[in-house]
Structure 1
Amino acid sequence: MMSQDPTRSLVEAAVSRYFTAIAARDAAAWAANFAPDGRSEDPVGREPVVGREALAAFQQSIFDAFPVMVLTPVEHYFGGNQAAVKWTCHVEAGGRSADFTGINTYEVDEHGAIARQKAFWDIESVQRRLAAVQP
């Protein structure tokens, strides 16, 4: 039996911590999972958020905006020091809800911290659904 690549173990652990911190609604733990100068582009096309302090504030703003947020990883793909994860998300705010999907990519450094994360999802579609009058 071959042993698992240590780089893959670091990447898997970082991705697991990412989703665990979101499930716990712990912005500080989520940001601590990044390298000190780590960056998140969420969604891709928006200005990246860089550095743990800014990352923690960014994630806390999401938690504040959505009292209910369930982000569920569906499929994982690993290669070298990177990963891609397909996910589903359910959010609720102000009596409205939206369900959507996306894909995140991660690049993990030699210390097991996320150096770069990108989230691919359609923010405009989600915003339209949340703004629509719910029955």
Structure 2
Amino acid sequence: MSDAPAYLNIDRENHPAVLAGRRSREAVEARDKEAWLANFAADGSVEDPVGPSMFDEDGVGHRGADGLSAFWDKTIGTTEKLEFLFDKEVICGNEVAYIGKIVTHIAGHISEAEGVFTYKADANGDLLALRAFWEVEATMKSLRKA
């Protein structure tokens, strides 16, 4: 085992934020709302996308069990399928950022949200924050029939 500090010896497979992010995506792909909610810390939050949008007019995010449940119902729950296509992974501290895109299948259409998607884990390895940096306008322009 190396004596190097953790930031010079990142365990990419077992990093808490990587694991929390993977559990989140697996729950979404399985359409398992309860598993997705259980992955979050009690005070966990989602900002997807970051800032004001049709999902969050005030741009303050969705917090706690009720807020996260409502977010699922308004977004993930209305889709047929979500695909996570990430090209790059950047791990810093207790967070991981992925660069790539999320492909959404909804009502016979497909859209692609290109951006940066971050997951922050707390000391217990629970998901503390999920933040998605993607542009609504660009994503809407990508909308096409499936």
Task: Name the TM-score, length of structure 2 as normaliser.
Answer: 0.75
Paired position in structure 2 for 1:30? 36
In structure 2, C-alpha distance between the alignment counterparts of 1:129 and 1:82, rounded to whole Å: 29
Q: 2:119 pairs with 71, 95, 106, which one?
A: 106
Pair 1:91-2:104 in alignment? yes
Task: Name the TM-score, length of structure 1 as normaliser.
Answer: 0.80
Contact 1:41 1:117 in 2 (8 A): yes
Q: Are the structure 2 counterparts of residues 34 and 96 from structure 1 closer, same or farther at C-alpha, using a change threshold of 3 Å?
A: same
Paired position in structure 2 for 1:2? 2
Deviation beyond 4 Å, 4+ runs, structure 1: 3-6
Q: Are the structure 2 counterparts of residues 42 and 63 from structure 1 closer, same or farther at C-alpha, using a change threshold of 3 Å?
A: closer
Q: Gaps spanning 5+ residues in structure 2: where? A: 4-8, 52-58
Q: Which has the higher helix share?
A: 1
Residue 106 of structure 1, CA deviation:
2.2
Contact 2:116 2:132 in 1 (8 A): yes
In structure 1, C-alpha distance between the alignment counterparts of 2:45 and 2:113, rounded to whole Å: 23
Q: 1:20 pairs with 12, 18, 26, which one?
A: 26
Q: 1:50 pairs with 50, 63, 78, which one?
A: 63
Contact 1:23 1:71 in 2 (8 A): no
- Equivalences, count: 132
Pair 1:76-2:102 in alignment? no
In structure 2, C-alpha distance between the alignment counterparts of 1:25 and 1:87, rounded to whole Å: 21
Paired position in structure 1 for 2:56? none
Contact 1:30 1:56 in 2 (8 A): no
Contact 2:46 2:63 in 1 (8 A): yes
Residue 119 of structure 1, CA deviation:
0.7
Q: 1:61 pairs with 74, 83, 86, which one?
A: 74
Give the root-mean-square deviation of aligned CA atoms. 2.5
- Stretch of structure 1 that moved more, 44-53 or 99-108: 99-108
